[in-house]
């Protein structure tokens, strides 16, 4: 694996963090904490990917994939929370263009 592309991916992930953090402020977004946690875990996996190239390869590799697994679990939890609510109300009737 070329380390340069992995560093690039990590940078992209890190750049996304503040955007995801912003969603934490809206309490009406259901499952937002788990979505954020999932994203953080995926970012962590990318950090491990970069580090494993230099030392403790196996340990960091394990770490990387463990983080991905936990991130996937968090993602599942988030989606379950997001879709846990009752069906949402009908929309306002738009103007009949006819």
Contact between 35 and 20 (Cβ < 8 Å) = yes
State the binding string over 29-58 for other proteins (x if CB under 8 A, else -).
Answer: xx----x---x--x---x-----------x
As a whole number of angstroms, the longest Cα–Cα distance in the chain is 70
Apex CA 23: angle with CA 78 and CA 27, to 5°? 75
In the complex with other proteins, the residue whose CB is nearer, 55 or 95, is: 95
Interface of this chain with other proteins, residues 11 to 30, rule: CB under 8 A: 12-13, 15-16, 19-20, 23, 26, 28-30
Q: Using alpha carbons, list the distances in angstroms from residue 76 to 3, 15, 71, 72.
A: 30, 23, 9, 6
- Shortest CA distance to 78 belongs to which of 24, 25, 31? 31
Interface with other proteins (CB under 8 A): 1, 5-6, 8-9, 12-13, 15-16, 19-20, 23, 26, 28-30, 35, 39, 42, 46, 58, 61-62, 65-66, 68-69, 71-73, 75-76, 78-80, 82-89, 91-92, 94-96, 98
């Amino acid at each position: 694996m070329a380390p340069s592309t992995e560093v690039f991916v990590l940078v992209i992930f890190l750049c996304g963090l503040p955007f995801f953090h912003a969603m934490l402020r809206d309490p009406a977004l259901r499952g937002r904490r788990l979505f954020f946690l999932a994203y953080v875990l995926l970012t962590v996996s990318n950090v491990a990917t970069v580090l494993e190239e230099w030392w403790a390869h196996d340990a960091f590799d394990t770490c990387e994939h463990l983080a991905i697994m936990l991130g996937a679990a968090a993602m599942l939890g988030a989606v379950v929370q997001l879709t846990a609510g009752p069906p949402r109300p009908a929309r306002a009737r738009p103007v009949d263009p006819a």
